[in-house]
Amino acid sequence: MSKKVVIIGAGLGGLECGYILAKNGYDITVLEHDKIVGGCLQSFRRGKALFDTGFHYVGGLREGESLHGLFRYFDLLSLPWQQLDEDCFDEVVIGNKSYPFANGHQRFVERLVEYFPHEKEGLKRFVKQLKEVGEHLPDSFLPRQTEEFYANSLFARSAYNWLNDTIHDPTLRKILSGTSLKMELNAERLPLYVFAQINNSFIQSAWRIKGGGGQIAEHLAESIRQMGGTIRVNATVTSIVERGGKAIGVRINREEFMPADYIIAAQHPQALMSLLADSQVIRNIYRRRISNLKNSFGMFTANIRLKPDCIKYENKNIFVHTPDADLWNVNSEKAKSVMVSYYAPSTENSADFSPAIDLLTPLRWYQVAQWAAEPQGRRGESYVNFKNKKTEECLNLVEKRIPELRGSIDAIFTSTPLSYHHYTLTQNGSAYGIQKDWQSPITTVLSPRTPIPNLLLTGQNLNLHGVLGTSMTSVFTCAEILGMDNLSEQLDVKHWK
Q: How many CA within 13 A on the CB side of residue 398?
A: 26
Encode the chain (497 residues) as per-residue pLDDT tens digits. 689 999 999 999 999 999 999 999 999 999 999 999 988 888 888 888 888 888 899 999 999 888 999 999 999 999 999 999 999 999 999 988 999 999 999 999 999 999 999 999 999 999 999 998 888 877 777 765 545 555 458 888 999 999 999 999 999 999 999 997 888 999 999 999 999 999 999 999 999 998 889 999 999 999 999 999 999 999 999 999 999 999 999 999 998 999 999 999 998 999 899 999 888 899 999 999 999 999 999 999 999 999 998 999 999 999 999 999 999 988 878 999 999 999 988 765 567 899 999 999 999 999 999 999 888 888 989 999 999 999 999 999 999 999 999 999 999 999 999 988 887 778 888 889 889 999 988 888 888 999 999 999 999 888 888 899 999 999 999 999 999 989 988 988 877 76
Structural domain boundaries, residue 231: 4-61+69-75+212-293+435-495
Residue 126 lies in a domain: no
Q: How far apart are CA 279 and CA 12, in angstroms?
A: 27
Say what the pTM is: 0.94
Residue 489 lies in a domain: yes
For residue 299, the cross-strand partners are 362
Residue 289 lies in a domain: yes
* Helices 192-204 + 120-135 axis angle, to 10: 90
Residue 491 lies in a domain: yes
Residue 10 lies in a domain: yes
How distant is the alpha carbon of residue 53 from its chain centre? 11
Cα–Cα nearest to 3, from 259, 223, 267: 259
Residue 103 lies in a domain: no
DSSP 453: T
Cα–Cα nearest to 124, from 87, 166, 61: 166
The CATH number for 442's domain is 3.50.50.60
Q: How far apart are CA 104 and CA 341, in angstroms?
A: 21
Q: How far apart are CA 252 and CA 207, in angstroms?
A: 38
Cα–Cα nearest to 456, from 1, 18, 2: 18
End-to-end CA distance of the chain: 38
Q: How far apart are CA 386 and CA 371, in angstroms?
A: 11
Residue 25 lies in a domain: yes
Query: Residue 446's CB: how many other CB atoms inside 10 A?
Result: 21
Split into its structural domains, the chain has a count of 1
Residue 420 lies in a domain: no
Kindly give, in sequence order, each residue whose CB lies less than 8 Å from that of residue 439, ignoring residues fewer than 6 positions away. Answer: 156, 189
Strand arrangement of the beta sheet that strand 81-83 belongs to: 58-59, 206-209, 81-83
